[in-house]
Amino acid sequence: MSKLTVFDHPLIQHKLTIIRDKNVGTKEFREIVDEIASLMAYEVTRDLPVEDIEVQTPVATTMQKTLAGKKLAIVPILRAGLGMVDGIMKLIPAARIGHIGMYRDEESLEPVEYFVKLPEDIDQREVLVVDPMLATGGSAVMAIDALKKRGATKIKLITLVSAPIGVETVQKAHPDVDIYTAGLDDELNEHGYIIPGLGDAGDRLFGTH
């Protein structure tokens, strides 16, 4: 079974509480999502492999650590996942970006895939799938399916707010994919919204309804 990490860092919790407030406008919402994404990226990359390289400082030659091995890709699930990309890129500027376009049918809540564009060497990269909301889990499962179909083998899922059913659904479908979230909420309402949640993440990020 994959690992679920719920971040209890005070800064992450504080910032998540701010954006849950329905009175927070688009500009502040977008800025804070960006900040939370950076803080989460710091923890999510904790297990990246390192190796020793020789460095010539102004006064000595020394062996020091550098990132080794796997290259990274960040793959947002459109639209809302886009809001987390820049924050992660601040820490991992060399990562490649893929895009998976998906929306939930409002009646059935089933995800509909409309776009997939990934780095060519996705099979050689560790992939960070990002989406602020993990509700039924349908979108995340389908996005991870799309990645695996194209050869990706090492995948992590990063979300801001998750419902228990969404976590369970992803873990069942993809037991090899670890999930990182800032908030594990209570349940879904009859429209598939996370309760208490933060509303529609895409609409709040982009100022649409």
Contacts with ligand URA by CB under 6 A lie at 80, 133, 135, 192-194, 197, 200-202
Q: With CB under 6 A as the contact rule, which of the stretches 15-23, 49-57, 66-74, 103-111 interacts with ligand PRP?
A: 103-111
**Smallest Cα–Cα separation from 81: which of 49, 47, 111?**
111
User: CB of 9: closest distance to ligand PRP in angstroms?
Assistant: 23
**Smallest Cα–Cα separation from 131: which of 89, 73, 181, 188?**
181
Residue 193, number of CB atoms within 10 A of its CB: 16
User: CB of 23: closest distance to ligand PRP in angstroms?
Assistant: 20
> Which residues partner with 51 through β-bridges?
66
Per the document, the length of the chain is: 209
Size of the site for ligand PRP (CB under 6 A): 24
138 binds, among ligand URA, ligand PRP, none (CB under 5 to 8 A by kind): ligand PRP
Residue 14, number of CB atoms within 10 A of its CB: 11
166 scored as a contact of ligand PRP (CB under 6 A): yes
Residue 46 tokens read as 């904790």
139 scored as a contact of ligand PRP (CB under 6 A): yes
SS3 207: coil
Q: Which residues are known binding-site members?
A: 79, 104, 131-139, 194, 199-201
Q: Which residues are known binding-site members for uracil?
A: 194, 199-201
